[in-house]
Each structure stands twice: as C-alpha cells, then as structure tokens.
Structure 1
Amino acid sequence: MTAILGISAFYHDSAAAIIVDGEIIAAAQEERFTRIKHDAAFPEQAIAYCLEEAGLTPDQIDLVGFYEKPFLKFERLLETTLAFAPWGIKAFLNSIPSWLKTKLHLPRVIYDGLHQQYNKRIVFVEHHESHAASAFFPAPFEEAAFLTVDGVGEWATASHGVGRGNRIEIQSELYFPHSVGLLYSAFTYYCGFKVNSGEYKLMGLAPYGEPRYVDLIRDNLVDIKPDGSIRLDLSYFNYCHGMTMTSKKFHQLLGGEPRQPESQITQRDMDLAASIQVVTEEILMKMVQHVHAQTGLSQLCMAGGVALNCVANGKILREGPFEKIWIQPAAGDAGGALGVALFLWHQLLKQPRLIQPADQQQGSFLGPRFSKTQIREFLDARGVVYHHRSDEDELCDEVAGYIANEKVVGWMQGRMEYGPRALGGRSILGDARSTTMQSKMNRKIKFRESFRPFAPSILQSRVRDYFDFPSDVDSPYMLQVADMQLHQRNTPTAESAQLTGLQKLQQVRSSVPAITHVDFSSRLQTVDARRHGRYFKLLTAFEKLTGSPVIINTSFNVRGEPIVCRPKDAYQCFMATNMDVLVLEQFVILKSEQPDARVFEDDLHLDQYALD
C-alpha cells in the first residue's frame, strides 16, 4: 500500500488530499473546518480529516507533496520588486515577514504540521503542474490536451500541454506579469468586489450590463495575440509593485475611482463587468483554438481559477473545437492538493492510471460525512425538536412537498463537496418555479446582493427539455452555463423590454424564473443516480409531485462564511436565517417547531442592491 498526501497552503484556500494506491480517498479545504472563508493557513484540520478517512497516521504516509515551489515564487517576488524599485518596496516589506516565518521553511512547517511523525521525503511540484495534474489525471480520457489559467503560480499564469496515460507534459506557458486571471481580478477590484473571492460576483453582474468598454480594454489595457497569449500595458496596473490592483491611469481611462465596496452598483459597473467578460471569453477561445491546433486532440481538460468562469466554459463547449471537455471541480488553488498527490503517484512513481467511464472524482464528494448516531447526539444535546424518517423514499417525498410549497430547505447529506460548489451534499434548496424565490433566498437566507443568480439542479434525463445543452454531455460539477430552451421562455412584454440594469430582476423570464438569469442562461448541474444517490431520489420525487425536474441548488452558507461541514455548522446556519426546514441525513427539523426560532429581517446593509 502506498499513501500520498497532497497539500496546498498559504496563498488562497488551503487544502489537503490523500490518495492510496492511486485511489482518491479524501480531499477538503481548511476553511470548512476553521470556518474562516478562504483560510490560507496550514491545513492542519483538513490533513487530520484526510488521515482519519484513510485510516492512517502521519508515520504511515509514504510521500508528501506540496502544490508549488516556494523558492521559485520568492524569486519572482524579489525580481519583481527590483524591476519596479523603488515603488515595490512597501509591498515587499509587507510580505517579507510571512516568507521569513513560514514560506521559506516549508519542510519544517510540514513536518511540524504532521506532529513530527513523518520523516520521509517532501516533493515540491510547480503550481501549474499541479493544476494540470488535477485536470488530466482524474478525467475520463486516455489522452487529452489540457489548459490551465489562473492569476499566477511561481512565474506561470497559464499553461497548456498534453496528457497521455500516466504522464502530463507542459508544452507552453504564459508568464507573469501578463495574466488573464489578474486582468479579470483588476476589474473585480475596480468594481468594488474582493479579489480572489468576488470574481464570480463580477461574472454574475455581467448580463445586467452592455459591453461598452470592450474596444477601450483591447486598445489600451491588453494586446491579445492570435494564440490567446496576452501582453498587458503595466502602466494601468498596480499589482506588481503596489497595494492595489489598478493605477490612477486605469481610473482615468475608465472615468473614475474604483467603486467602494458595499456602495451603490451603477450602470457603469454593470457595463464594465459585461465588457471584461467578453474580453476574457475572447482570450480563452483563442487559447483553446491554439491548443487544439497544436495538439490535434479532440478532448480538453481544464483547471486553474479562471476555469471556474462557467460562462466562458459554456461558450468553449458550444463554440470551441474540442468534442469533449472535463473541468476539475476544485479548479482553484485548493485543487492543487489533489493535483500534486496524483502527479507524484503517476508521474514520479510511474504508476499506471485506471480510467473511469465518468471520472475518478466521485462526484467530488470527498469530504466528511456524519453518522446517524453523531447527528442524533448533537440534536439531543442542543434540545432540537426533530423527526427521524427511516424510509428514504418517504423522506424524499416529504422534502419534495416542502420545496413545492415554497419552503426553503437546508440539505446536508453524505460526504461534503471538495471545491467551491455545493452539489447536493451541503446545499440550500428551493422551488425554481417560484417568482419570488430568488429575491427571498438572496435577501433573507443568504444575506447577499439581490442580483446574484441561482443555479439549477436538473435530472440528467430531462436536461434537453429545459436547456440548450448536448444530450450526451453531463454537468455534475456546475461548471457549464447553458441557455434556456425557447419554449420554456416567457415572451417579454413591452414594459419588460424597456428595463435596464438591475431593473431586469422584475422580469419573469421563464417557466423556472428563480434559476433563469437575465440573459436566459443558467449555471446548471445535472443529477444522476450513480453520482448523487439520495439527492437524485429527491429530484425524482419532486418531478413526480410537480412535473418539474428542476430545483434551486445554492451552497449551504451565508454571505462571508464557508459552506457548512458539520451538523453543528448546518444547524447554526439554519437558525441564523429564514430557512424553513433542515434535513440532516434522515433527520427533519422544522423551524416552526424550534422553541428558540425567530424571524430574521432583510440585511438592510444590502438594500442598495435590491429594487424597491
């Protein structure tokens, strides 16, 4: 038996993953345990979970891998500081303490994190090698091209190459400071959202705007080459030497200072979001076409933070040259933990790769699960009023009834998801047919901006009835956007056709309006019996009851918090919001029966996002 532990840490979304004899046993982000969103600390609790799931102690691990090379990253920091001296000195001095304390002493940090019970080899793999490994090795392809795109690793900001059998080979890279991810993050910052976590908000805001700034961006900020590589005019950006993403020249070009976080969203912000989304899609499409031309392969694997741009992914699937695409569900830095573990097993140890018909990711349900005994003990200790349903079919029928009656349901089942998406393990569910559910769930459940769209879960067998999406393609990881079928759309009224910006929220756009974005798109998750078990049974029960195979599926958390992990986290989130029902495995908890329940009003701090 050979056990390999993969670790990503210290930059964004620390995580751990463990594989035994090539099989993915467990993987999880540290934030889920510490309850600190995007926790970048050493993933001590995630490692402890992975070892427990594998039934191993640190001294039984055969090899530890870290997802990037810290000395290469430090080299980039030094060279960048020297190149932009004296302007980069302040940023350099701010970062030096963490480098001197931990990042330049990672072997010691890792040995200490494993309680000094591990005394074997630690292997450091380059950042984009870890991304590429996470993209190709779990994929259901014997051979495929891969494309990785993010902000920056050590020096590389994008890479492409070929995976065959048990090996990957990077053939070309794009280097810092020229970065698609950093370009998108600059607009995330400029539009008032948090870098490294607000990019999906910018993507969600884009359909409310018009791409008026596309030519301005192309003519001034970025030179897009035919192969999709880019060159940024660095005079418009501050990230090489400053404490912000954009410079005064950037602000002058776009007509004003960055939007202040939590302030009113203007039409300009929406138009900027639409514009950078168009430019990003153009860059990625050129990259994909170049990779296809260079490799001659028909299948593509993707990873890196930019691979979470599901709107661009949908366009690549529809209009790109590849016949099949597979995207790592934990495409960001957290996925590097799994990537480095798989890289060591296949590439370093030269072990063969078994290809699964779907993939090796197991639905990305790789986190903790909790037993009936554990849940009952927690509920009894807290004095929770609950009902246990021993029959699974009756449970699903009951919960389907709650959803059909426009109750909001917190749903915690089986193993927790690995990656940023809730996939039916730690989800908040609602009726997609409701005309009020999007506003209700955003404002009274999630306490977040009202423009944010919700994603649908839909039975795989019914996807073509609702979405313009290939019938032979599944989307279990919620990483593809598809357009609503024309026959499911409502004909716009004369009044609704005049709506602009956030006013578009007033329009009832389809038969399932709560998951139909203003451009008639949805970030869909397809649900099947093999991957999704009880969640599949719930959707089947809902379809039998209502005729609709579609429900809202959003992550089980509130704004600013990680997705819930344990029964305690789920119950606290349930009681701190206006959710109506909580289902912990086969335990059903009704808010109306809880003695300490109260109604939570809208978060008034977010009222500027909503329509009166």
Structure 2
Amino acid sequence: MRILGLSAFYHDSAAALIEDGVIVAAAQEERFSRRKHDPRFPSSAVEYCLSEAGCTLAGIDHVVFYEKPFLKFERLLESYFATAPRGFSSFRLAIPLWIKDKLFQKKMLQDELQKLSGGDAWNASLLFTEHHQSHAASAFYPSPFKSAAVLTMDGVGEWCTTSLGHGSGNNFEIRKELHFPHSLGLLYSAFTYYTGFRVNSGEYKVMGLAPYGTPRYVQKILDNLIHVNEDGTFHMDQKYFNYTSGLTMTSKAFDRLFGGPPRKPEDELTQREMDLAASVQKVTEMIVLRLAKSIQADTGERNLCLAGGVALNCVANGKLLREGIFDNIWIQPAAGDAGGALGAALSAWHQFHGKPRTVREDGGDTMAGSYLGPSFEQTDIESRLQAIGAKFDVIAEPDMIERTADALADGHAVGWMQGRMEFGPRALGGRSILGDPRSPNMQRTLNLKVKYRESFRPFAPSVKRENVSDWFDHDSDSPYMLIVGDVAEDRRLEMTDEEQSLFGIDKLNVARSSIPAITHVDYSARIQTVHHETNPRYWDLLDAFEKRTDCPVVINTSFNVRGEPIVCTPEDAFRCFMGTGLDYLAVGNCVLTKDQQDPALAQDYKNQFKLD
C-alpha cells in the first residue's frame, strides 16, 4: 500500500511517500521551485516522490493532508468575532481568500492532484489529519522507541499550539492540548518580529543572537506577557500581541513595555535586541523543561519524541537532554510544517489502517538519516554540468574524497553535493558547504563572502560519531543537528580580562577554542554526529580530514546563500558555486575549482534572492 502525505498553503509545503509503512521519499517544494518556504501546492515534490516509488498517482492508495481546513476556518472566525471590531482590517484581507480558495481546500487539492501524472486514474481517496496529530505521528512512528512520551509545540495548527501525548507500538493518543491564542511558538515569533527578523523564517536567528545578550527582560516577560504554571502550561496576555486580529505580531503595549518600536529589518543590531533574544530564549527553555517534566510524570516514560517548529530550537533541546528528565530524546529532523506531510502519511498507515509498527533492533530510527530527497547518477551529473558550461575533472570516489580533504585542510570553502538531498531545514552532508573549523577567519569568511548573511550567525560542526565526546561535552547521537552542546573544556581557550569585558557583537572575533569557527560566544555548538552506516561518503571525508589535521570535525552549513533554498540539482550547486566565494565544488565524482571556470558564468548571487 502506498500513501502520499501533503503539507501546503501556509509555509514549507512538502510531500512524503510511504510504501507498506516504509518511508520511500520526502522533500520540500522550495527545493524544486527555488522559492524559499514555498507555500504552494507541492506538485514538483509530489512528482519526485512518485518517481522514487516508480509509480504515478494512479498507484497511490491514499493522499493525506496534514491538517483540517474547516477547523482552521472555525478558529479564524471565532478569533475575529472575539476581537471585533479591532481586527476588521485583517478580517477584510483574510476572509475573501478563505471563501475563494481555502474553505474549499478539498476540491482544490483534488483538482491539483488530478493534474499530476496518473491523476485521471487516481481513486480520489483523500484523507485529513489534524495538524498536531501529523506532528506527533512524524515524531513517534519513525523514532527508535517502542513506547515514548510525545511533545509537539509550534505556532498554531487548527486550534492546538502544544500537545502532550503517548505512543506505544502502533497506538498513539494525545492526552492534553493547549489552544490558540496561547502559543510558545507565537511568543517566540513575536520577539522574532520585534527584533527585526521575518516570522516563520528568522526564529533561528533569534536563537543564534541570544548568546550575545543578557536575559535581563525575563522577569518582565513573565510578569506581563505570559503566566507560566509549574506544569509548563501557560496563559498569554493578548493586549501585548496583535496576531489574533491584526497584521503584526506585537501591539503598541508591547512597544511601551520594551521601550520603543520594533527594529526595522537590516538596521544595525544593538545590545537591546541581543538582550531581548536572550530573554525569550530563557523563557522558552523554562517552559519546555516544565512541559517535559509534566509529560514524564503523566506517562512514566523514559523516552521522549519531539516535533513542531519549537522542536527546531536546538538550544532548548540541548538543555532538555542535559536535564536528564528523560533518558533518551528523539527529534523529527523535519520538525516544522514540512514534516507534517510525513506524519500525515504515517498516521494513515498506523492509525487509520491499524497497521503494526516495526522498531529497529539496532536502536536506530527509520528516517534513513533524513536523506530522502533526489540523488543523481554520475553520468547525469556530468551531462548536466557540461550543458551549463562547467569545467570539471571526473575522478574515482577515493581520490575525490582525498582531494576535498586537501582543499579543506588548505583553508578553502568547499561546496559538497553528494547522494540524496536532506528532508528538513538542515544540511547534513548531502547538500553542504564545508570549511576548516580550526581557522579563526572561516566563520566570518563564510558568513560575509559565501552565505552573504549576518556576521553574528554561528556555524555547526559535523563530527564523526565515535569522536564526539573527545571534542564536546556530549556523548549521544545527534545526527540531525538538533542538539546544542558545549565544546569540551580541554579544547577551550582561556579569555583575557580585556576579551571578557567585551559586549555583544564585539565578542565575535575572539577565538574561544581550538576549533573557533564552530564555537559560539558561549562555548556552545550545534552538533551533528556523522554515522558511517547512514552517510559513508561524508564519514570518509571527515576521516580523511582527520588524518591530515588530527581533527575529525568540519564546519557544515547549508549549501545556499541567504534567502535561497538549499540546492537540489547539480545546476543549482554550480550556480551557487559561481555566485559566491566558494573555492571548490565536489558533485558526485566531479571536482570543480573556481579558477578553471569561465568568468562569464559568474553571477551576482548576493542580490538575487529576497532576504530571509
């Protein structure tokens, strides 16, 4: 039985396909359309999933949508009526769109599906799950646990913003919910908006900015914005927010409370924004820890699964792991709305059909390392690169790895496109930009000359799993780059009195460890453990780099520039290579260096994409 899951029409549209309960393929539409966070019907992602399964839509038994539109419309109407007449301007914009399209999403989905190959012969079996049910299913069913507590947190689905559930075998139930407008995700997004970043895109920037600040607004947040109970449930004072009825996240009362209007995008960051970021991060961590303690007490479980956009807060995840509330934590790598497509499909298989669940005996999950997107045969890579005028050498895989390790050790920034593309927001060694973490200049170089993004943003380390505890205060799996840990004490560099007196962004250029390019200002790092069984080629590269440098760690950041989706095809990789300060590119067994390329193929990549 083949089941196709879909998420669409809000942000990060995606498709996922399972066959007899096994995940075959999953991808976000943005990777094909080249439109960041593309919310449209994921036609290209669906066609890819069908091709991976070797069928057309006619071979699909069910299509499952990740939420219930009528419930969402109910929430919209009730929210507007509750705040009338204050929300009329937002109501006037939203309701015509809902009446024209969104209220009839079932028909719209059917129409779009019938346009696909085999759509005319499809059985038209279209199912709907609830939003947080999809998140929870995506967290529990692929996890390595026979039973687990399941916590989902995001902005809002239909009504639910937070759910606490329990899974055992193929059974799953949500036991408690928090409802809109009280939302940890929307609290974080309010501060994202207020500090000048884009909602549903810039939340990770707030997380990255937080270590530069002091959490001096925590009590003000707790005294005014949100009341937090001992069990982690909370209530938000809506006079400080504008998302229920308006077109912004925060209100004038929020401005008065924090001493001014929101920062304008691209304005200089000040200590105020850093302190605000540090404060909302601290409050988020406190709530997550309390919710985790509550669900552990309720279920008695020692395993926890996480999903929903808040589960992408890897700093909070790291604090939760170190707190020891649960023995084991597993986080869905596509924790945001894209992962809802996978959860919808799995929910139909296990819950609608009642099919049994298989848990791996070796303790691994069933996500295949999250390498669930397209791959390209070597001959296809070569023909594609030739067609766009690229100059390259084709060498055997061992030689390609050796040459790439040499380039990294020599201080070059490397584009690395190998195997299947990752599902979710993180590049995990399939579509990555790599660098030498020992270089004191690499973090700044990659931010400003390659990624074209804000200089304060940190980079993540990839490390061979067997070496992780030698370099970090961490000794568990983190294959999806969703847990932050600290650099090991013996790798750190002691700061001078003058360096310790620095504030904010001035801290950026102080080397804090023997791997300064991935060490954040608070000695933390967003760790990816690389496992030979899930990505042998990437593991071999780390191993080759270690033989040259005695360091099994490399910088790993997504293969894109700011505002661009992660690259999908060889053509995408070459365009990014030619539009940035990358020195070297490895696509399959094709090796490219910048000085070999036709200068006429260079692109102004810095201004090509809308800033995120």
TM range, normalised to the smaller chain? Answer: over 0.9
Structure 1 window deviating more from structure 2 (102-111 vs 531-540): it is 102-111
> In structure 2, what is the Cα distance between the partners aligned to 1:442 and 1:419?
21
> In structure 1, what is the Cα distance between the partners aligned to 2:408 and 2:94?
49
User: Does 2:491 align with 1:488?
Assistant: yes
Matched residue of 1:506: which SS?
A: coil
TM-superposed deviation, 1:599: 8.3
Letter in 2 for 1:499: L
Matched residue of 1:334: which SS?
A: helix
User: Does 2:510 align with 1:507?
Assistant: yes
Letter in 2 for 1:524: I
TM-superposed deviation, 1:586: 0.6
Contact 1:5 1:65 in 2 (8 A): yes
Partner of 1:66: 65
Letter in 2 for 1:234: Q
> In structure 1, what is the Cα distance between the partners aligned to 2:221 and 2:522?
23
> In structure 1, what is the Cα distance between the partners aligned to 2:557 and 2:352?
39
User: Does 2:598 align with 1:595?
Assistant: yes
Q: Deviations over 1:352-383 (max 9, x none)?
A: 11112210000000000111121111121122
TM-superposed deviation, 1:600: 8.8
- Aligned partner of 1:553 among 552, 556, 562: 556
User: Does 2:414 align with 1:409?
Assistant: yes
User: Does 2:240 align with 1:241?
Assistant: no
Note the residue ranges of structure 1 that are not aligned, 5 or more in a row: 606-612
> In structure 1, what is the Cα distance between the partners aligned to 2:97 and 2:600?
44
User: Does 2:67 align with 1:76?
Assistant: no
User: Does 2:438 align with 1:433?
Assistant: yes
Give the TM-score taking structure 2 as reference length: 0.97
Partner of 1:38: 37
Partner of 1:573: 576
> In structure 2, what is the Cα distance between the partners aligned to 1:97 and 1:119?
31
- Aligned partner of 1:369 among 369, 375, 399: 375
Letter in 2 for 1:256: G
TM-superposed deviation, 1:601: 9.9
Partner of 1:384: 390
Contact 1:444 1:601 in 2 (8 A): no
TM-superposed deviation, 1:105: 1.8
User: Does 2:275 align with 1:271?
Assistant: yes
Matched residue of 1:531: which SS?
A: coil
Matched residue of 1:478: which SS?
A: coil
User: Does 2:521 align with 1:518?
Assistant: yes
Partner of 1:193: 197
> In structure 2, what is the Cα distance between the partners aligned to 1:564 and 1:570?
6
User: Does 2:241 align with 1:258?
Assistant: no
Contact 2:578 2:603 in 1 (8 A): no
> In structure 1, what is the Cα distance between the partners aligned to 2:129 and 2:166?
17
Contact 2:575 2:603 in 1 (8 A): no
> In structure 1, what is the Cα distance between the partners aligned to 2:91 and 2:535?
47
The 5 Å alignment of 1:463-474 reads: 463-470=468-475, 473-474=476-477
Give the TM-score taking structure 1 as reference length: 0.97
Matched residue of 1:218: which SS?
A: helix
> In structure 1, what is the Cα distance between the partners aligned to 2:206 and 2:410?
32
Contact 2:579 2:605 in 1 (8 A): no
TM-superposed deviation, 1:119: 3.0
> In structure 2, what is the Cα distance between the partners aligned to 1:540 and 1:497?
35
Partner of 2:316: 312
Partner of 1:203: 207
Q: Deviations over 1:21-60 (max 9, x none)?
A: 1110000000000000000000011001000110111111
TM-superposed deviation, 1:447: 0.1
TM-superposed deviation, 1:102: 2.6
> In structure 2, what is the Cα distance between the partners aligned to 1:544 and 1:203?
34
Aligned residues: 601
> In structure 2, what is the Cα distance between the partners aligned to 1:146 and 1:469?
23
Partner of 2:447: 442
Partner of 1:11: 10
Partner of 2:401: 396
> In structure 2, what is the Cα distance between the partners aligned to 1:533 and 1:100?
51
Contact 2:532 2:539 in 1 (8 A): yes
> In structure 1, what is the Cα distance between the partners aligned to 2:65 and 2:190?
28
Q: 1:360 to 1:325 in 2, by over 3 A?
A: same
Contact 1:575 1:597 in 2 (8 A): no
- Aligned partner of 2:366 among 341, 360, 368: 360
The 5 Å alignment of 1:133-172 reads: 133-172=137-176
Letter in 1 for 2:197: F
> In structure 2, what is the Cα distance between the partners aligned to 1:480 and 1:64?
33
TM-superposed deviation, 1:135: 0.3
Q: 1:601 to 1:595 in 2, by over 3 A?
A: closer
TM-superposed deviation, 1:260: 0.3
Contact 1:206 1:271 in 2 (8 A): yes
Contact 2:136 2:152 in 1 (8 A): yes
TM-superposed deviation, 1:595: 1.8
Letter in 2 for 1:318: R
> In structure 2, what is the Cα distance between the partners aligned to 1:124 and 1:421?
27
> In structure 1, what is the Cα distance between the partners aligned to 2:330 and 2:96?
39
Contact 1:288 1:320 in 2 (8 A): no
Note the residue ranges of structure 2 that are not aligned, 5 or more in a row: none
Q: Deviations over 1:101-132 (max 9, x none)?
A: 33222222222222243233211100000000
Contact 1:285 1:320 in 2 (8 A): no
Letter in 2 for 1:563: I
Matched residue of 1:257: which SS?
A: coil
Matched residue of 1:542: which SS?
A: helix
> In structure 1, what is the Cα distance between the partners aligned to 2:386 and 2:124?
44
Q: 1:597 to 1:474 in 2, by over 3 A?
A: farther
Contact 2:450 2:581 in 1 (8 A): yes
Q: Deviations over 1:302-324 (max 9, x none)?
A: 00000000000000000141000
Letter in 2 for 1:374: D
Q: 1:233 to 1:500 in 2, by over 3 A?
A: same
Q: Deviations over 1:307-352 (max 9, x none)?
A: 0000000000001410000000000000000000000000110111
> In structure 1, what is the Cα distance between the partners aligned to 2:415 and 2:101?
39
Identity of matched residues, %: 58
Partner of 2:286: 282
Letter in 1 for 2:101: T
Contact 1:482 1:523 in 2 (8 A): yes
Q: Deviations over 1:506-530 (max 9, x none)?
A: 2110000000000000000001110
Structure 1 window deviating more from structure 2 (430-439 vs 595-604): it is 595-604
Matched residue of 2:280: which SS?
A: helix
> In structure 2, what is the Cα distance between the partners aligned to 1:320 and 1:75?
40
User: Does 2:322 align with 1:321?
Assistant: no
TM-superposed deviation, 1:211: 0.4
Letter in 2 for 1:123: L
> In structure 2, what is the Cα distance between the partners aligned to 1:337 and 1:171?
22
> In structure 2, what is the Cα distance between the partners aligned to 1:380 and 1:193?
39
Letter in 1 for 2:358: L
User: Does 2:225 align with 1:226?
Assistant: no
CA RMSD of aligned residues (A): 1.4
Letter in 1 for 2:110: Y
Partner of 1:110: 109
